[in-house]
Amino acid sequence: MATQQINIPDIGDFDSVEVIEVLVAEGDVVAVDDSLVTLESDKATMEIPSPVSGKVTKVTVKVGDSVAEGDYILDIEADEAAAEEAPKADAKKEEPAKEAPKAAAPAEKPAPQETKAPAPNVPPVPKPVNAQSMGAAYHASPSVRAFARKLGVDLNAVTGTGPKGRIQQNDVEAMIKSVMQGSAAASGQPQGGAGIPSVPEIDFSQFGETETVELGRIKKISGKFLQTSWLNVPHVTQFDESDITEMDAFRKSMKAQAEKAGVKLTPLVFVMKAVVKALQEFPNFNASLSPDGQSIIKKHYYNIGVAVDTPNGLVVPVVRDVDQKGIFDLSKDLMELSAKARDGKLTPADMSGGCFTISSLGGIGGTQFTPIVNAPEVAIMGLSKAKMQPVWNGAEFEPRLVMPFSVSYDHRVIDGAEGVRFTTTVGQYLTDLRQLIL
């Protein structure tokens, strides 16, 4: 038996993440890939698996701790076979460890772009002299830095309340709120963020019995991003519908073949292929607006985000390289990502890199809706429930399966004429799938 220290593996582009669950205790016996702790970033939760089998002899973290890549979290008294492999794994880690001191020197200086002059609308607030340590101007995760840049907040003026003075998103929000409250007090009018009048507070209990239920974690996180997108993106929504009679007949004819391949064939995979074909013809939809708003960044890859309804709220995993995959491969990807989403096991990598998002309510009902653009993307499609309708064919009415859909887009990047051309093109591809191979 040999004791092996377990450290946090690569967790993506995060300085630190919070421990929300410790899944083992001293004395527990674990197998390879058993979950040890659960971490939570601002985008997703992730479980850290055990690299070896054995007995947990020491746990050094607790719920609420912040950890980063390489942090020591516990000891496992590894089985003999695992102990023999441990030295090999440690040897592989030694080389990057030797290089660490060289990379440490430049990290003492904050990046130039993160020390902008204070934005005109957010005057700087004096920072306590003991708010930061280790010589850095401020400490904040990449997501918080991006959030502050979007709102024009100078992080040098924000007081961090996190561990070791780390600036968190609520610190940025608190500063903006305090500034706006100061402006409101001067004008004598109640104001919300960015000068938007706040919703009046009402004691609803005066009208009858009430109950206060806290929002779920995912809704709290996504709500902030949705509000930011709604306030920053000038939305336009184009409504359309498509005759999918032939497409649905083809899908049903492929059911047996799909079952042999171990997948469930849904209309969504055909929509994804039609959307990618249209994105190739209308590249402005497969783009993002530059931070200064003076140019667009066109993407030459096609990753489609798919909104998934889970017990904890709506999440948007991303299916990559849709243009390079067939409908069975896409069906498999969707099944795997949907299962991870429902189990709360999506990683930050699963939810990043999207170009265009599809939100499908077709399995539930409804006729049309206006989805909110998932910024920094510039467009999103909403699918509603298809139903049989009488359609005039020139001689008589015949029953056809018609699916309503909508596309919301950023009017700074896409104008109305281009928007309707895009939806018309997608509708034509869904009506006649043969056009997808032209």
Q: What's the rounded Cα separation, in Å, for the pair 433 and 273? A: 9
Same domain, 381 and 343: yes
**Hey, which residues are catalytic here?**
411
Q: What's the rounded Cα separation, in Å, for the pair 219 and 313? A: 6
Average pLDDT, the chain: 82
Q: Which token pair is 200?
A: 């009046």
Q: What's the rounded Cα separation, in Å, for the pair 317 and 308? A: 8
- The count of residues in the chain is 438
101 upstream amide cis, omega within 30 of 0: no
CATH number of the structural domain spanning residue 11: 2.40.50.100
Torsional sign, CA 401, 280, 355, 328: positive
What per-residue confidence (pLDDT) applies to 333?
96
What per-residue confidence (pLDDT) applies to 11?
77
Quick check: 113 pLDDT over 60? no
What angle, 0 to 180 degrees and rounded to 10, lies between the N-to-C axes of helices 267-281 and 327-342?
A: 110
What per-residue confidence (pLDDT) applies to 96?
44
Number of domains in the chain: 3
The answer as to whether 206 is a domain residue is no
Q: Which of the residue ranges 67-81, 120-134, 422-436 would you say has the lowest mean pLDDT? A: 120-134
Quick check: 156 pLDDT over 90? no
Quick check: 194 pLDDT over 70? no
Same domain, 364 and 249: yes
Same domain, 100 and 120: no
CB neighbour burial string for 385-416, b if at least 16 within 10 angstroms, e if fewer:
ebeeeeeeeeeeeeebbbbbbbbbbbeebbee
CATH number of the structural domain spanning residue 276: 3.30.559.10
CATH number of the structural domain spanning residue 129: 4.10.320.10
The answer as to whether 30 is a domain residue is yes
Comparison of pLDDT for 393 and 313, the residue scoring more: 393
Q: Which of 72, 104, 136 is the last residue of a domain?
A: 104
Q: For 333-361, write each residue's pLDDT tens digit.
A: 999 999 999 888 888 889 999 999 999 99
Look at strands 35-40 and 45-49 and give their pairing: antiparallel
For range 231-254, the mean pLDDT: 96
The answer as to whether 200 is a domain residue is no
Q: Which of 64, 82, 104 is the last residue of a domain?
A: 104
What per-residue confidence (pLDDT) applies to 35?
86
What per-residue confidence (pLDDT) applies to 124?
44
User: By C-alpha distance, which of 220, 266, 276 is closest to 244?
Assistant: 266
Same domain, 66 and 165: no
Quick check: 118 pLDDT over 60? no
What per-residue confidence (pLDDT) applies to 97?
42
Quick check: 435 pLDDT over 80? yes
The answer as to whether 204 is a domain residue is no
Q: What's the rounded Cα separation, in Å, for the pair 80 and 188? A: 73
- What pTM was computed for the model? 0.62
Look at strands 356-360 and 304-306 and give their pairing: parallel
Q: For 26-51, write each residue's pLDDT tens digit.
A: 999 988 888 898 887 766 677 888 88
Torsional sign, CA 239, 241, 247, 249: positive
Q: What's the rounded Cα separation, in Å, for the pair 222 and 233? A: 16
Comparison of pLDDT for 414 and 123, the residue scoring more: 414
List the domain range (segments joined by +) for residue 341: 218-437
The answer as to whether 202 is a domain residue is no
Same domain, 397 and 283: yes
Quick check: 274 pLDDT over 60? yes
